[in-house]
A and B are shown apart, each in its own frame.
Chain A
Amino acid sequence: MELSGFSAYLVSFLTFAGIYAVLALGLNMQWGFTGQFNIGVAGFFAVGAYTTAILTTPGSPAYLGGFGMPFLVGLGGAVITSSIIGVIIGLITARLRTDYLAIATIGIAEIIRLFLKNEDWLTNGVRGIPAVQRPFADTALDSPLTYLLVVALFVVGVYFLVERAYVSPWGRVLRAIRENEPASAAAGKDIARFRLQAFVVGSAIMGLGGGLYAHFFGFVSPEAFRPLYGTFLIWVMLIAGGSGNNRGAILGAVIVWGLWSGTEMLTGMLPSEYSTQAAALRVLLIGALLQVILVTRPEGILPEKAPRLIARRRDKQ
């Protein structure tokens, strides 16, 4: 099935928005629920993408693997490796205040990028890993539209998981820690442990997003995981959509990705000698947008609402 023109663009747009929605949901688990400030999203994103790329590509002497594994094994690996990174960072920072977590995560993201760039034996360095296949490759089902459906499936799946986590007693503890740490500690909750759990689950979801990205884009290289694309856009999505609100995270991903792609179309009309300036102008606009949101509507488009608690719903029956 070949798509043409606008519909092909729309499919690609929605797939990207879906992948960003997964990443934003992961960030929402960390920041929106628990108040953990992770500005190293790009690091977890990159680890997920590279893991699945190494696991699923056919063998190559240029980098470790590939192992030619199936799609789902690649995604599983992506989730596992990013969780491991999450455990390490979480263990170091779970007891510290959130500013330190921010600094530590930005450090780990930069070091992961340095590592991916310099360790040729593992990642093929700056040349990146090409030819990451979509699932159902070489079958009749293989098309951009099928992959959009796969991504949509994952978005829905992750959404239900995090939404369930949000209303659960576990999610309630996370929000309690976010709102009032001493009170939650006084209520006998092990703050460091809950924080670590939320951080690892969030990291795992980001790794999944990275895996989905690798199979969609077909090519991973360190440049794709610079702080701008890998971290900043996702933060703007979550803040714009409404941090703490899972539907807000998805809505924010679609809207901000729309704005970001829209400005690309606008600056694409400029003559090509201005292309670097045009890219800078787009960043300037999206950065200004973030500041306007923070000043005028910090709760986002869909503010967080107190959930209907599961226990209360059962009482009514």
Chain B
Amino acid sequence: MNEIVQLLIYGVVLGSILTMGAIGVSMIFGILRFAHFAHGDFMTLGAYIGLAFISAFGLSPWWALPSGMIGMAAVAVLIDKVLYQRIRRTQPVILLISSFGMALVIRAAVQLIWGSDNQSYAKGIQFPWRLDILGGLRIKPDHVWIVLIAFALVVAVHLFLTRTKMGKAMRAMSDNMDLALITGIPAERVITWTWVIGGGLAAAAGVFLGIDTRLYPVMGWTALLPVFAAAILGGIGRPYGAIAGGMVIGIAMEMSTLVIPAAYKPAVAFAIMVVMLVVRPQGLFKGTL
């Protein structure tokens, strides 16, 4: 029992991290109509930008989060303006190839600049809190912060999508592109904002991953499959579905270690995704298939 609750806690932490990535993937798919394969490496780059910022100014590790998010949002918009915008006029599937190439380019750039060794935000071991319920649960303070900040970011995205004019324009474009364009929604500005939010949240996921474990160049790539699984499970193109999808995938991945070797955690995410694609391809929350 104790072990199950402990894994549930780890699952919620992983789920929070995956949610951050999956919201971005889902929004990009909803508005630009392509699966963004560089999203995992956006996570990596965001984490490293944060690392560069805190080591340059000697700040506490938590400064990696805002600096990484701002930096990555800027890089995402830059990549869109320099590359994706030129390709966008052709078929969306060409964007898919381009983003797959971009994934490798970003990873190579990270290796080139920061090297391929493991790095971490803070030296030393953090002592977990021990709770004496259910025979001694261990909770790391970092995990609590990750879940709380992720929740705050989700609330912020929700408020942005429902209360601001830009957020409403985004949802309109995601729901019905033609109708939205006819009503005069500024498509290019909506797309720019999509990259700002997608890139920023990807960086948050990357920084959380880095705080939870370590930073290494393929950290985001290995998280890409669970992120996609979360986005598909929630219904691709549905940011709110991504939250549910992220939690389900995160908890399932951690729980699976009870019965199968931990090396197969990504396979669990994949299996859930395949079942979903067969049974209900539109996702839990009817996505824009």
Interface residues in chain A, defined as those with a beta carbon under 8 Å from any beta carbon in chain B: 35, 37, 39, 92-93, 96-100, 102-104, 106-108, 110-111, 114, 117-118, 227-228, 232, 235-236, 239, 276-277, 279-284, 287-288, 290-291, 294-295, 298
Contacts and interface: CB of A to CB of B under 8 A. Distances in A.
A118 B263 contact: yes
A98, A103, A117, A232: which has the most chain B beta carbons within 10 Å?
A103
A284 B87 contact: no
B261 interface: yes
A284 B96 contact: no
Interface of B: 29, 34-35, 37, 83, 86-87, 90, 93-94, 96-98, 100-102, 104-105, 107-109, 111-112, 115-116, 221, 224-225, 228-229, 232, 236, 261, 263-264, 266-267, 270, 273-274, 277-278, 281, 289
Given A100-B277, A284-B112, A39 B100 contact: yes
B278 A277 contact: no
A298 B90 contact: yes
Given A100-B232, A294-B87, A114 B111 contact: no
A151 to B, nearest CB: 27
Contact of B266 (A37, A114, A277, A282): A114
B83 A295 contact: yes
B289 A281 contact: no
B10 to A, nearest CB: 20
Interface of A is mostly: helix
A118 B83 CA distance: 38
B131 to A, nearest CB: 34
Nearest to A233: B104
A235 B104 CA distance: 13
Contacts of A37: 93, 96-97
Contact of A110 (B87, B94, B98, B266): B266
A118 B263 CA distance: 8
Given A39-B100, A103-B225, A111-B266, 8 more contacts: A37-B96, A39-B37, A96-B277, A103-B232, A104-B273, A117-B263, A280-B112, A291-B83
A134 B155 CA distance: 61
Nearest to A109: B225
B289 A97 contact: yes
Given A118-B264, A284-B112, A232 B34 contact: no
Given A118-B263, A235-B97, A295-B83, A277 B112 contact: yes
Q: Nearest 7 A-B pairs (CB), nearest first? A: A287-B105, A280-B111, A283-B108, A290-B101, A107-B270, A284-B108, A280-B108
A159 to B, nearest CB: 24
A38 B263 CA distance: 24
17 contacts: A37-B97, A98-B93, A100-B277, A104-B274, A106-B225, A227-B221, A235-B97, A235-B101, A279-B111, A280-B109, A281-B112, A284-B105, A288-B105, A291-B101, A291-B102, A298-B90, A298-B94
A114 to B, nearest CB: 6
A249 to B, nearest CB: 15
B108 A287 contact: yes
B111 A276 contact: yes
B83 A114 contact: no
A117 B225 CA distance: 18
B103 to A, nearest CB: 9
Contacts of A106: 37, 224-225
Contact of B96 (A92, A102, A110, A282): A102
